[in-house]
Amino acid sequence: MPRAIWVDTDIALGARSGDVDDAFALAAVVRSPALRLVGVSSVFGNTSSATAARCAERLLAVAGSNVPVVEGAARAGGSSAAAEAIARLPAGTWLLALGPLTNVAAALARRTTCKIAILGNAFGLRDHPLTLAEEHAMIDVLTGGRLISGMVRGIGAEYFSFGANPAFSHARFQEAHDLVVHMWTRPGPFAFEGKYYKFKYVNPWPRPYQEPHPPIFIPSSGSLSTIKWAAEHRYTYCQTLAPIAAVARTFQLYREAAEQAGYQASPDQLAWSNAIYVADTDEKALREAKRNTNWVDQNAAWESAVLGFCRALYSHEAFLAEFEPFVARLTRLGEAVALRTVALKLTSPGVPDIYQGDEMPLRALVDPDNRRPVDWQLRRERLDGVAAGDPPDAQTLKLWLIWTLLELRRRRPEAFVGSYEPVAAGDRVVAFVRGAAVLVAVATRPEVAVEAAAADGDWNKVLGGDEHGFAVWERPDR
């Protein structure tokens, strides 16, 4: 059965330059046979309600749908008509907002706690930079203040694509910056009168979560004028895709520009955006990246030099003082995620999937490699110990978890062929009951309690607890 969706246009489609592509992209989604459009709400932040309604109807025409258009946003702060319409939707209906970037950021906000940096938006290339400004503000609100907003001038090919004159790139970029910052920091409505942008009515919705606005990064390939401008505004300068010698040179230029502006640049104002290739071994990473060596034409001298540099880092005290605490924290989080994933995998509906040879800790940056030998004798010995009741240690905790949950499935087969009932245990806990006999609770974030899931009912704990971030209970046999 197709999934019911409600589309919230968020910004009037077609009312601003550049939004037509978004309209067609969203319409392509709506036309999917897996989706069934049930309604559209139109927002008119910087245009008239009539224009917003016409643009929403344009979306329907492109999508080939014929459903009512409700005036106002279908989210907090929207019109009562839209809110009432949403309230009447059947359970499971999806709400889609305009802009794939906003939707991706919303998904990341639910699955991560990291900063979200958008480094490549050329506000000055847009005829209506308020579109991007509102989108960035929405992302900052959705993520609870985790956005880093990167502002770039753009490169020649982009000016050609947008039909903009690159001779005015500096002035146009700086004016777009001023407009966006005004929009983020001033309540609307207000007028903006510049050389390139003239708006009689600027009414931002929403305002950013962070005060006075999200951190601004200025990515560049090394333009001296951009470096000076970033230093004058005390923004973080981000060198993009350059060798380390060029990075050192541009960082020094920024420090000098900061001194001319009357302050000393801090390390937080200097950033480097670069590509990193990750593989299971250093040799594999070097050859698969294909920069100066590869599997067919190997550059032994270069590989040896890189590996020698990496080995030297292990004896560099200043590096280790920062790196080892980071690795220790990452290891703890990785182990927690791995064990919680195993707990979910072995208790969710379906057939458990266990990769043979992966029953013990495996610190690999890629999927298991079938070419590596597996020490089966070691695993037999450790499994015998677990089955005999030996307490699990760091090496056998995963093995013990697999054995205990598979043993539970063997003892209570009726539970795992029975029903699956979700349990409300908090926003950051996945909890469910299998066959009315087994209760599972798994935290999706560090330091989130799970014991409360079993507060109601007669449950005996099988394993886990708040300290593990997961727990499994079973009902006593009647």
CA 18 from chain centre, in angstroms, equals 25
State percent of the chain over pLDDT 70.
Answer: 74
Confidence of residue 151 (pLDDT cuts 50, 70, 90): very high
User: Residues with Cβ < 8 Å from 128, sequence gap 6 or more?
Assistant: 16, 17, 18, 19
Q: Write down the pTM of the prediction.
A: 0.54
* pLDDT per residue as tens digits for the range 382-417: 999 999 999 999 899 999 999 999 999 999 999 998
Dist. CA 254–CA 230, nearest whole Å: 8
Identify the structural domains of the chain with CATH numbers, from first to last.
3-98 (no CATH), 102-273 (3.20.20.30), 282-313 (no CATH), 338-474 (2.60.40.1180)
Say yes or no to pLDDT of 152 above 60. yes
Please say if the pLDDT value at position 63 is more than 70. no
Q: How far apart are CA 140 and CA 112, in angstroms?
A: 14
Task: Quote the pLDDT of residue 90.
Answer: 60
Residues 238, 168 contacting (CB under 8 angstroms): no
| Nearest to 265, CA basis, from 234, 303, 219 | 234
The total of other beta-carbon atoms located within 10 Å of residue 121's CB is 21
Residue owning tokens 């029953």:
359
In DSSP terms, 271 is beta-bridged to: 238
Q: Is the pLDDT of residue 361 over 50?
A: yes
Q: What is the DSSP string of 307-358?
A: HHHHHHHTT-HHHHHHHHHHHHHHHHHHHHHHHHHHHHHTTSSS-----TT-
**Which stretch of DSSP H or E encloses residue 414?**
helix 413-416
pLDDT in the model for residue 215: 94
Question: Over 90: is that where the pLDDT of 49 sits?
Answer: no
Which pair of structure tokens corresponds to residue 445?
């974030």
* Least confident interval from 15-19, 365-369, 458-462: 15-19
Q: Who contacts 276 (Cβ-Cβ below 8 Å, separation ≥6)? A: none
Locate 408 and state its tokens. 């539970």
